[in-house]
């Protein structure tokens, strides 16, 4: 299995959050920590969902915390049988105690496992650095510059995350023109809280992938364009249900997208906030063997990997599917 859309701060194990908070002398909420870190049952929107990130971000302000969190999460992913993952987070959100964005990324990179040996695949993981909607322009440009510095050294792309409905994608055209000038590929959150127009804007900006894109189906012409361009969608079923991007799984568009030739993938988004795993996401969708195979191979093709590593990952996925 492959997870291409996985937020570090939304996937911290509650036990680790407790440990980091106690080590740093930070207060913990009264009552259940698991509930404080998870989307409420009556979650009404993406903005409600995003409130669950306050505590995880607060504990991830030191080098040790960042390294430890990446180590713990990648170890957990390996234990769940994943072959590859791309973890994303916003370095600008982890500078409250004086770390620079570059130091934040260095600390996160120190937690990554060694890359797979050439020609053999075990488990691989890279980082995507998120720029923030509503964030300071200088901080977002710094994120892109830091990504360029570490590109191919554990960092594979940049992203645009945050409150999509409040900050239109098109406002970030200069930022992603800058990313293109530095040769940094990017995926953009779009078509989640906002509709197809946000996905169109992401395509115009040059996005290699679309984060979510669950609402792209509201515009048939957009679906045709996504299929024609082979721009992958990073779908996240449970998260999309919780943020009310879709009313229920019966209306989740994955199977329709696959039938229309869209390179759709399945991901968790936030394992802790959504109380999910990649296995649970796949189980909830009740895919046929052919659909499951298509999704996994789409994920291989969509991965921000050089050709040789992508070929090794594809071989590992094919071997897993054969069993």
C-alpha distances in angstroms, 217 versus 2, 123, 253, 256, 260?
24, 33, 7, 9, 10
Going by C-alpha positions, the residue among 269, 249, 274, 271 that lies closest to residue 43 is 274
Q: Say how far apart CA 312 and CA 84 lie, in whole Å.
A: 11
Check: CB of residue 233 under 8 Å from CB of residue 226. Answer: yes
Q: What is the CA 239 to chain-centroid distance, rounded? A: 12
Catalytic positions, please? 192
Phi, psi angle pair for 114, to nearest 5°: -60, 140
- Residues paired with 160 in a beta bridge: 131
Residue 174 has which token pair? 């200069």
Q: Check residue 74 and give left, alpha or beta (phi > 0: left; psi -120 to 50: alpha).
A: alpha
Work out whether strand 233-235 and strand 2-7 pair parallel, antiparallel, or are unpaired: unpaired
284 C-beta neighbours (distance < 10 Å), count: 15
C-alpha R_g of the chain:
18
């Amino acid at each position: 299995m492959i997870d291409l859309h996985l937020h570090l701060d939304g996937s911290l194990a509650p036990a680790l959050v407790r440990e980091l908070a106690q080590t740093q002398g930070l207060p913990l909420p009264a009552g259940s920590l698991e509930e404080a870190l998870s989307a409420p049952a009556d979650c009404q929107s993406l903005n409600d969902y995003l409130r669950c990130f306050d505590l995880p971000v607060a504990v991830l302000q030191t080098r040790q915390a960042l390294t430890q969190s990446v180590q713990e999460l990648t170890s957990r992913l390996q234990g769940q049988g994943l072959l590859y993952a791309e973890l994303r987070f916003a370095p600008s959100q982890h500078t409250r105690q004086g770390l620079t964005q570059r130091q934040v990324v260095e600390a996160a990179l120190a937690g990554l496992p060694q890359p797979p040996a050439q020609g053999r695949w075990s488990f691989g993981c890279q980082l995507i650095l998120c720029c923030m909607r509503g964030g300071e322009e200088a901080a977002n440009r710094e994120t892109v510059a830091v990504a360029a510095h570490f590109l191919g050294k554990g960092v594979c792309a940049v992203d645009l995350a945050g409150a999509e409905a409040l900050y239109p994608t098109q406002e970030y055209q200069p930022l992603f023109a800058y990313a293109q000038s530095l040769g940094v590929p990017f995926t953009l959150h779009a078509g989640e809280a906002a509709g197809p127009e946000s996905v169109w804007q992401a395509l115009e900006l040059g996005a290699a992938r679309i984060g979510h894109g669950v609402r792209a189906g509201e515009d048939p012409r957009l679906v045709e364009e996504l299929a024609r361009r082979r721009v992958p969608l990073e779908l996240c079923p449970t998260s999309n249900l919780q943020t009310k991007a879709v009313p229920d799984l019966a209306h989740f568009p994955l199977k329709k997208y696959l039938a229309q030739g869209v390179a759709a993938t399945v991901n968790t988004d936030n394992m802790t906030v959504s109380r999910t795993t990649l296995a649970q996401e796949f189980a909830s969708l009740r895919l046929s063997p052919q659909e499951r195979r298509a999704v996994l191979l789409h994920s291989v093709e969509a991965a921000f990997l050089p050709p040789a590593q992508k070929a090794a990952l594809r071989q590992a996925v094919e071997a897993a599917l054969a069993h």
